[in-house]
Amino acid sequence: MTDFHMKAETLTEALPWIKRTWGRTVVIKYGGSAMTDPVLREHVASDIVLMKLVGINPVIVHGGGPEITSFMQRLDMEVKFHEGLRVTTPEAMDVVKMVLVGKVNKELVAEINTHGSLAVGLAGDDANLIRATQRSKELGRVGDVTDIDITVVTNLIADGFIPVIATVAVGDDGGSFNINADHVAGRIADELDADKVIFLTDVDGLYADFDDKHSLISSLSIEQAEDMIAYDKLAGGMVPKVAACVHALRGGVRRAHILNGTVPHALLLEVYTEEGVGTMITPAEEPWLAEEVM
């Protein structure tokens, strides 16, 4: 089979998936090496643009932990974590906001907009999109999400734009909070009644045994995912991602995916091919599957 025939078969395979996803909303939590590596970032941006042009409404949610740490070190600021969370003094919060909103968000928007006037950057405190309250005095300006108001997001989608959301939140005191981007992605997917929520990370997905790379779990139910959390069967960094998947699915999102963002075009492989990649988490009952195979 020639390369031309293989390309034609790939396009033909994508057609039913394009038809099924037309007009649907997909929330993408963007992080890991796929966000810091310029080549990978270009691949992800082009995938997002292609998804938009063939009818999906992508919504991007991002953090930026490694870049925040790098900037704090350059400014000779103490980088301190407590129970896995960054201790965020008011001075550190200024850096968090500067990096997430002023640098990372603008770079992602610019990368997408090399393909056209498509993306608009938002911070969680724009139009009170994300509200939060302080988690503890020990953590400083680290917040827990109390409310999501997606009005500005739905307005941008209706106007044909791709919202790109930096995960800082506003508190009742008018100040900003540093919040967990995985949790925000799950909450926003829930509020938008998204078709999918996708988490881009640095590993291929969930493993039955993380030390055994042949034990990748291609799919599991929401109950199995909850058991993995309850029985401490997940690597630490996966816990908030899986918890966010569970929250989104309990809220009505149809499917949740954890993908390796270092694999070129992982988004397209997951959304538009028969096999997909990574790990998919689904509700226990899936009446919509019959619709997909018709």
Asked if residue 224 lies in contact with residue 231, where contact means CB atoms within 8 angstroms, the answer is no
CA distances from residue 35 to 49, 116, 196, 244, 254 in whole angstroms, order as listed = 16, 20, 20, 20, 26
- For residues 34 and 12, give the distance between their C-alpha atoms in angstroms, rounded to a whole number: 28
Residue 169: its pLDDT value, please?
97
Residue 214: its pLDDT value, please?
83
Per-10-residue mean pLDDT of the chain, 294 residues long, equals 64 77 94 82 93 95 92 94 88 95 95 95 95 94 96 97 97 93 95 95 87 86 93 84 94 94 88 81 60 36
Say which DSSP state 284 is in: S
Cβ-based neighbours of 118, under 8 Å, separated by 6 or more: 49, 52, 112, 160, 161, 162
What CATH superfamily is the domain 23-292?
Acetylglutamate kinase-like (3.40.1160.10)
Residue 293: its pLDDT value, please?
32
In what order do the strands lie in the sheet containing 143-148?
143-148, 130-134, 168-170, 176-178
- Rg (C-alpha) for the chain, rounded Å, is 19
Quick one: 267 exposed, middle or buried, by C-beta within 10 A (0-12, 13-18, 19+)?
A: buried
> What six digits make up the tokens of 16?
């039913």
Residue 17: its pLDDT value, please?
77
Residue 215: its pLDDT value, please?
86
